[in-house]
Structure 1
Amino acid sequence: MVILIAILISLIYPSSFNWVLDEFMGVNLINILLGLIIFAMGTTLKLDNFLNVFKSPKEILIGVSIQYFIMPLISFALATLFSLDLGLTVGLILVGTVPGGTASDLITFLAKGDLALSVSLTAVSTLISPILTPIITLLLIGSTISFSPVDMFISIFQIVIIPIAMGLFLNYRFPKFCEKLNDFLPALSSIVIATIVAGVIGANKEAIISSSLIIIVVIILQYSLGTLLGFVLAYLSGVNTKQMITIAIEIAFQNSGLSTSLAKTHFPDLTLATVPGALYSVWQNFAGSILAYIFTRYFNNDV
């Protein structure tokens, strides 16, 4: 609801969120806002969430492999199939190559999936994103447009790893404080994401309207195919029903805020590159409740 209100305001008054795309002391404000969300995520994590890779190596390996193999390929295939503009192509690829988003944990809980696995998958995929996201992005679009994967690595490290480490440390030293803080973090994260989305949509209002049908169809397909293939491949891997549901949700829910931030930082001349991440954020939050209902209603989650 917060995101929809912010989008409505940005469409009526496009300049109201322009400040989101500005810089503060030489740093993109989007990066600062996203770092705040990642920090909030870090305060909800414990070291066990990362060590779970040794306790459930099969499920973690399956989830992370699908995350960084299937989603990028889906993105590339859709961009090619629909002959997207270069900016939209770059943005769509980035949506596919970033790690899973924290919203997947809430949807997994609502869908009665394996919440512990979901949290660990998000944590692990985020931890390795500074390496895999630049490499996979380079492989997919490196021949089309020039960018520095090393600079992208540094950006992700600054935006993701440092805030997570700070959040983990705070949770380790002051667990009771973080437990109280967590009551407010979902609302804070929603407001920050809504602000980022509104800023991107407001700045690109005319371009989005002119190409809205195509990019919206592509975003819906990207999300749907990610969910479907995640579930099917998890099923073929022999995991149980709860874990299949969890992996499917984890694959579909991307850290779209990070993709928008990377697009703004590393492809500043391609203004439309920020659009797919913003639209994906809107869609995945809207479709998440539907997905949770489908899994709860039509699948046996007691396995």
Structure 2
Amino acid sequence: MKQIFKFIEKYFFIVILLAVGISLIYPKSFQWVLSNYNGINVLNLMLSMVLFTMGTTLKADDFVNVFKNPKEIGVGISAQYIIMPLIALALANVFSLNTALTVGLILVGTVPGGTASDVITFLSGGDVALSVSLTAVSTIISPILTPMITLLLIGNQIHFNPVDMFVSIIEIVIIPIIVGLVLNYKFPDFCAKLKDYLPALSSIVICLIVAGVIGANKQAIFTSSEVIIVVVILQYFIAMLLGFGVGYLVGMDKKQIITVAIELAFQNSGLSTGLAKTHFPSMSQATVPGALYSVWQNFAGSILSYVFRRYSN
């Protein structure tokens, strides 16, 4: 059983491509992911599971690293919440995306870094401790910055309630992480055993979310596929290149430069999808950029990690 979970963790990009393929052939097979049962939003519940697993891997020491590396953390977080949203806004304007796709792309840019960045950083020979700290800090402050930046970028075009988004992120992100942290503090040995299984479990949940969104928006993806796919790929690579540039300009070492680049490009796209569905329910296409970004970042990241490892040595 452990070998199966390790396989899923290592070859996540294959699993997610398989899920996407099934969702395009049998779109209704993952319809339940976007449903509500007894008033519970299934997609948000699944996202909470992913953030809970992240919490079980964190310790107080991960946050202490913030004070040990204030420069690197400050640069990484600033890039996360300044550069990434601006890339999204610029691409939406350059490619004249419709309102729904613009909302989805902006949300991809304003959410915190994704947990997959820690794994890719490890495979790339980067600074794993820095990656964990950046992911944790960007996630913890996301209830404030994600709604605020989203409102700043699109609030004059689309009405939404940033306070409601703040509450959603608290419910989906912060509470599950705190529960995971407490569990790790109280039962460290138990959580250590879970580490062999939780990354793969999180990967499976993300695959289901992506498959559900893509299946539900199959027609919309095909009608606008070329444009939005190009935009998503550009968003990823521009973020990666700017991450390298920022790290180099502030004098980081090779491992730290790789880490900042990965952290900037890897977004919590599942959260962006959940926020799009919850706060922009009339815009079904708003969930598409997050789903496509999740597929691309994991596929490209798995390949680029080999190149990065050679660069870090």
TM-score, length of structure 2 as denominator length: 0.95
Once the two structures are superposed, what CA deviation does each residue of 1:160-197 show, in whole Å capped at 9, x if it has no partner? 00000000000000011001111001111111001000
Secondary structure of 2:96's aligned partner: coil
Alpha-carbon distance in structure 1 between the residues aligned to 2:309 and 2:19: 30
Once the two structures are superposed, what CA deviation does each residue of 1:76-113 show, in whole Å capped at 9, x if it has no partner? 00000000011110000000000000100111111111
Q: Is structure 2 residue 162 aligned with structure 1 residue 149?
A: yes
Q: 2:267 maps to what in 1?
A: 254
Unaligned residue ranges in structure 2 (runs of 5+): 1-13
Secondary structure of 1:2's aligned partner: helix
The residue type equivalent to 1:251 in the other structure is L
Q: 2:236 maps to what in 1?
A: 223
Unaligned residue ranges in structure 1 (runs of 5+): none
Question: Which of 17, 21, 46 is matched with 1:4 structurally?
Answer: 17
Q: Is structure 2 residue 36 aligned with structure 1 residue 53?
A: no
Alpha-carbon distance in structure 1 between the residues aligned to 2:54 and 2:38: 25
- Please state how far the C-alpha of 1:3 moved relative to its aligned partner: 1.1
Alpha-carbon distance in structure 1 between the residues aligned to 2:177 and 2:246: 30
Q: Is structure 2 residue 202 aligned with structure 1 residue 189?
A: yes
Q: Is structure 2 residue 148 aligned with structure 1 residue 139?
A: no
Alpha-carbon distance in structure 1 between the residues aligned to 2:140 and 2:251: 26
Q: 2:8 maps to what in 1?
A: none
Aligned residue runs from structure 1 range 148-187, under 5 A? 148-187=161-200
The answer to which of 261-270 and 5-14 deviates more is 5-14
The residue type equivalent to 2:41 in the other structure is N
Q: 2:11 maps to what in 1?
A: none
Q: 2:28 maps to what in 1?
A: 15
Q: 2:52 maps to what in 1?
A: 39
Alpha-carbon distance in structure 1 between the residues aligned to 2:247 and 2:295: 26
Q: 2:248 maps to what in 1?
A: 235
- Please state how far the C-alpha of 1:290 moved relative to its aligned partner: 2.1
Secondary structure of 2:252's aligned partner: coil
Alpha-carbon distance in structure 1 between the residues aligned to 2:71 and 2:37: 43
Alpha-carbon distance in structure 1 between the residues aligned to 2:105 and 2:64: 31
The residue type equivalent to 2:143 in the other structure is P
- Please state how far the C-alpha of 1:47 moved relative to its aligned partner: 1.0
- Please state how far the C-alpha of 1:296 moved relative to its aligned partner: 1.8
- Please state how far the C-alpha of 1:5 moved relative to its aligned partner: 1.4
- Please state how far the C-alpha of 1:23 moved relative to its aligned partner: 0.8
Question: Which of 102, 110, 118 is matched with 1:97 structurally?
Answer: 110
Alpha-carbon distance in structure 2 between the residues aligned to 1:101 and 1:25: 29
The answer to which of 155-164 and 231-240 deviates more is 231-240
Alpha-carbon distance in structure 2 between the residues aligned to 1:92 and 1:25: 30
Q: 1:266 maps to what in 2?
A: 279
Secondary structure of 1:143's aligned partner: coil
- Please state how far the C-alpha of 1:53 moved relative to its aligned partner: 1.1
The residue type equivalent to 1:126 in the other structure is T
Q: 2:76 maps to what in 1?
A: 63
Structure 1 stretches of 4+ with a deviation exceeding 4 A read none
Alpha-carbon distance in structure 2 between the residues aligned to 1:212 and 1:234: 33
Taking only the aligned residue pairs, the percentage that are identical comes to 70
Alpha-carbon distance in structure 1 between the residues aligned to 2:128 and 2:34: 35
- Count of aligned positions: 300
- Please state how far the C-alpha of 1:158 moved relative to its aligned partner: 0.4
Alpha-carbon distance in structure 2 between the residues aligned to 1:35 and 1:231: 31
Q: 1:28 maps to what in 2?
A: 41
Q: 2:101 maps to what in 1?
A: 88
The residue type equivalent to 2:118 in the other structure is D
Q: Is structure 2 residue 82 aligned with structure 1 residue 78?
A: no
